[in-house]
Structure formats: structure tokens, C-alpha cells
Chain A
């Protein structure tokens, strides 16, 4: 397993630079939007990766609630952290693209709002992890993750109703995608996914080491206090 890590790192580096070349040079320029459309190759793969990481967090949280397994807790933690980073990329690149194309930075559209609410839920998840006392953190966080997952369909329907009453600018959906663009998109997604797995993996290793160090220190402290007596 340990040898796989540098291989994955090299693969990620190669894929990321190849994907960058593809997105900036090879992919055809969009007819109406021009070059600004190229941000799409970062925006969409980031969104897919973020949602996948949030899903991973939910599954790991449920596993933790059932099994009380430390590994599941670490997976939940790192997938939420990296997921929030990718989700932030989505929320930042979206308005950069929307301003020249739609003429506005932001609209309360279904997908935008859902992404924002997910981001808010997961930021509160990370805040809870940071603020709660160590022993109970995994359990509280897992419970909150389950509540967040229960919330997602409700958020979806509430915004769906909201949208039907307050029509906002139409999204450039419905059109067909140039197959060359689709290919570049998939290459970018593969690169981003590798990158996400790489970051999660290293974060996982750091977190495990950190917990081992804390345990050892606690144990040493205990032994010392006994020895002193």
C-alpha cells in the first residue's frame, strides 16, 4: 500500500498537467461564450468531486455510528475537509463564469443554492469537530452528518418550489455538449479525482499519526504520574 502512494502522486501530477493542456489548448473555444467557458473544465469536475466526497463522508459516518470504527471516523473527517475545499472552488469559479455570461454574479437557482447549503452544512460539521471535546467528537460529527444527509432532499424540494414561484435567469442547460469538450471534461475529472484521493490519503495518514501520538503522550503521562507516586 505504501508504495502505491508515490505512484498515485506521479500519476496525479501527470494527469493534472495533461488535463490543463487539454482544457486550455485542445478543447475547442465555445461559440458564444468564448474562452471564459474553459472554467467549466474546473468548475464541473470540482463539483462532482465535492459531491462524491460528501457522499463518502455520509457513508463513513453511518459506518461509524454502527461499528464505532476509528478508521471510518478518520475517513469521514478527511472527506469532509477535502470536500469543503472542492466545494469552495465550485462556489468561487461559478460566479467568475456567471458574471460575463449571465450578467450577474449569483442567482438563487436550484443547483447554486443546493451547493451553497451543502457547503454551509459541511462548514458547520467542521466547526463542530473543532469545538467539541475530543472523546465525543466522532460520534457528534457522525450524528450531524446523518442530519445533513436527511436535510438534502428537503433543501432540494424547498428550492424547487421557491424557483417555480420566482423565476430567475435561465441557465444555459439543455444544449448538447461537443464530444471533444466532453472528453476534456472527463480527463479533467479523472485528474481532479486522483488529486482528491491523493490529498485525502495523505491527510488520512497524518490524522492517524496524530492520533497515535496523542494516545502515546496520554499513556506516557499516565505512566509518569504513577511513577512519581
Chain B
């Protein structure tokens, strides 16, 4: 049985909780992705990328419904992640589970989807 070798991130205003279900690596982001979250998110995404490679998962699903805000530096980390996934030729989809009521999600993630439509998909709830 595969065990996830990446630690959750627990901060006062930001959190990341990774879980492995079948061949999907789920990542739940919560709180506020502001400047304090930039470093931890960057490191986490680097780790999760190697985990995706090691476990050969078919999808990484980011559940951002409880992520209230994501600033441009955090978004940059997500874009770098997606670029690397694409660059490594991983057969791994990136899915965002979003809440349409949150403005940033529509704005930023739609642009992400437009950028790599074959890789990124958005599921509104």
C-alpha cells in the first residue's frame, strides 16, 4: 500500500490537507492564501509534484472551496506547479473544485484553465 510522504500544512490562517484516494491525490486548501502562505505553499507543491510522479496518480484535485483568497504570489506557485506537471509529461490531470461565489476563483482559475485546457479542469459546486 502506498503511503503519502508529504506533510499537511497547518497555519493560523492557511491550511493544506493532502489525502490519497485510489489514484487521485486530493489537496484541500483552506483559509487565506496571502504573503504568509507563499513559502509553505511553494514547498508543498514541490513535494506534491514528486509524490504525483512517485505514486503515478492520474489526477491531482485541489479543493479550493474553503480557500477564501489567493494572492498573485500564491497563484504563481500554482502556475509553476502546473507548468512543471506539463513539462514532465505526466499523464496527470489537475482539477480544481471551486465555489463560484468566490470572485478570485472565477477570475484566476478560469485563466489557468484557458492556459492548459488539456490538463486543467474546473468543477464548480
- On whether the two chains bind one another, the answer is no
- Residues of chain A touching chain B, judged by Cβ–Cβ distance below 8 Å, are none
